[in-house]
Chain A
Amino acid sequence: MRAAAPLEVRNLSKRFGVGNAIRRAHVHAVDDVSFELRPGRITALVGESGSGKSTVARLLARLHEPSAGTVLFEGSDVSGVRRRRDVLRYRSQVQMIFQDPFGSLNPVKTIRHHVERPLRIHRIVAPAQIEERVLELLRTVGLVPPEDIAAKYPHELSGGQRQRVAIARALAVEPKVVLADEPISMLDVSIRIGILNLMLKLKDEHGIAFLYVTHDLASARYVADDILVMYAGQVVERGPIEQVLSAPLHPYTRLLLAAVPDPAAKLHAQRIELREGRASAAVDPTEGCRFVSRCPLAIEVCSRVTPPLVEERPPQAARCHVTAPST
């Protein structure tokens, strides 16, 4: 029995215009992306910079309008929602955490102010209970003693503590979905694990559905249940993360895996091939696989026909004519 998906994305696309009136080009930042986020599960969205992974998170947070496709929240389409009341309701259910814990907090306001504000705006608890709830939230994210932390200003906290404040603020509205966009990449190595452990705790104890956007495969494996690998705006592989990482289908997933520093294997052990000119394949794409110019497995059909996402080893699916052919 599968739980209902709080958030489902169908054929989502986003194009950005670049250039000028004469030489107009479109970046297909997100192209025909479909997936769902389930309660108590973490879905990792990985890819290189420019692959469109952050744009997906921003589309879900409604910071961008999609060019095509639908976003379903508990089954109802939210793509066209514009009324303030409806937008507020959506935002109270789908929260976003950003990469930069330094930029996302107001330097002249105390931590109490940051955590209290969503409680007031979304009227989560009665005014008399706000203080108690603030302290409880700070405790939940491991900021103790909460009374002391609440009175501090952002600059008095470390990067890891600030990111915890950002998470407490996101949790204040009791969201069903949290979109975490590279939440640890600006933090020191020794405190990254703490934030990942917090995400694991929140998914277990609060049943939150997480989208974890990252370029770090090892941290994705540590927290996530499922993985979506993006390349040039498209999902090129998806499936349960252990299955995908232990037997990747798509050549790009394989390349990513081979590139991660692995102290166990000395550098020369897994040299990867250098290819020049990777001008983004997402700018005015033509028919054909977008990875073809970098692909060691490419065959004739690859540059002619865009491969569909095929469930080669269900539920693991990939867009590749060679490793996941559509028969």
Chain B
Amino acid sequence: MAEETTVIRTGKATLLELRQLVVDYGVGARRARAVDGVDLSIHEGEIVGLAGESGCGKTTIANAVMQILRPPARIAGGSILFAGENIVGKNTEELRRFRWRNVSMVLQSAMNALNPVMRVGDQFVDAIQAHERIDRRRGLARAGELLELVGIDRRRARAYPHELSGGMRQRVVIAMALALQPELIVMDEPTTALDVVVQREIMQQIEALKRDFGFAVLFITHDLSLLLEFADRIAIMYAGEIVEIGAAEALADGAEHPYTQGLLRSFPPLSGPLTRLTGIPGSPPDLRDPPSGCRFHTRCPHCLPDEPELYVRQTTERPVLRPLRPGHQVACHLVEERAT
């Protein structure tokens, strides 16, 4: 991994690319394949949302990108390319430099990840000193600048974490993630534990910072409505697979996969007429023994035996992601059949 590389931002170069990524938990009969052959790319300066229900594998992908998977989880196949270089199998020292400098992470409970007995500013200094030679005084000055970036008074660098509200602590963690100006920030449910008002403040902040610094974001959440408003592109995951991926507007206006459509119908509207919603019947499958064929077929409203030919494909043949139109891919037998 090259140090201090000057990245020349030439529009939309691919920054991160997952190729047929497979992650297993455990081995043998009890093996659960949490991520099963995922292809996903993130371009420079882009916000890519990854949405799905709990257990669909979205957090596993985040941890794989950060290379912080711990046994029994392991990468069982595929590659993770960062700026063209495969990071799977790198040694500890290479990864240590890669993390934070190239990719940093913000977690859902990150606000509880701060050291409670250490002043906020010193925690910045620690993080920066792990990667750069910098004295404490200059480190603290940098901490102050970073705090101001996220709308917190620089004097708060002297505060202990408990003196800050949950939303402020989460902003502190975001500021720390920015400390070394990484090209990619992985955010795993960064606002889920927060109130809507605080959530919006933080989302606005992330957008503004992204505009100023040009980093890319992999944003993981179960809240599709948040992504529709905020992400450039969205990938929908179900049972370890990506079932649909497209521009946020494309998904908002014309989601094609029945699972995506079901998710969209699960959010009651805040204005306009109210109709009875149905959500999605059933629950996500056990990944130790996923359904045959399309993994969603057990919950899919369009998987009916009265169309025998299609039904056989839906229940026995695994659909693959195919481009429906430029930039919009769907893995669904029904959509495929309609398109031809």
Contact surface of A with B, Cβ cutoff 8 Å = 48-49, 158-161, 188-194, 196-197, 215-219, 221-222, 245-246, 255-263, 265-268, 271-272, 274, 276, 278-279
Contact = CB atoms under 8 A, between A and B. Distances in A.
B91 interface: no
B270 A189 contact: no
A260 B263 contact: no
Given A161-B283, A189-B222, A190-B53, A197 B268 contact: no
Contacts of B48: none
B29 interface: no
B10 interface: no
Contact of B225 (A194, A257, A259, A261): A261
Nearest to B53: A188
Given A189-B224, A190-B279, A256 B270 contact: no
Interface residues of B, number: 46
Contacts, number: 117
Contact of A262 (B198, B207, B270, B277): B270
Interface string B201-220: 10111010000000000000
A257 B270 contact: yes
Interface string B150-183: 0111000000000001101000000000000000
B40 interface: no
Given A192-B279, A245-B270, A276-B152, A265 B195 contact: no
17 contacts: A189-B263, A190-B53, A194-B281, A197-B277, A215-B196, A217-B196, A218-B267, A222-B268, A256-B196, A259-B199, A260-B270, A261-B199, A261-B226, A272-B200, A272-B204, A274-B151, A274-B204
A117 B242 CA distance: 44
Most buried by A among B200, B201, B228, B262: B200
Given A189-B222, A190-B263, A260-B270, A49 B228 contact: no
A265 B248 CA distance: 12
Given A191-B279, A265-B229, A267-B204, A218 B54 contact: no
Contacts of A268: 207
Contacts of A256: 196-197
A139 to B, nearest CB: 16
B288 to A, nearest CB: 14
Contacts of A194: 279, 281
Given A191-B280, A194-B279, A259-B196, A272 B201 contact: yes
B70 interface: no
B165 A278 contact: yes
Contacts of A263: 225, 228-229, 252
B92 interface: no
B9 interface: no
Contacts of B39: none
Nearest to A265: B229
B230 interface: yes
A217 B269 CA distance: 9
B274 interface: yes
B338 interface: no
Contact of A193 (B198, B225, B266): B266
Contacts of B54: 159, 188
A198 B255 CA distance: 27
Contact of A158 (B228, B230, B279, B283): B283
B196 A192 contact: no
B223 interface: yes
Contact of A190 (B195, B207, B274, B280): B280
A261 B222 CA distance: 13
Contacts of A190: 53, 262-263, 266, 279-280
Given A192-B266, A221-B268, A267 B229 contact: yes
Interface string B70-114: 000000000000000000000000000000000000000000000
Given A48-B197, A259-B197, A274-B201, A218 B207 contact: no
Nearest to A188: B53
The 7 closest A-B pairs by CB, nearest first: A193-B279, A263-B228, A222-B268, A190-B280, A158-B283, A48-B195, A188-B53
A160 B223 contact: no
B278 interface: yes
Contacts of B225: 261-263
B268 A188 contact: no
Given A197-B279, A215-B195, A221-B268, 8 more contacts: A190-B266, A193-B278, A218-B270, A222-B277, A256-B196, A257-B270, A261-B223, A279-B165
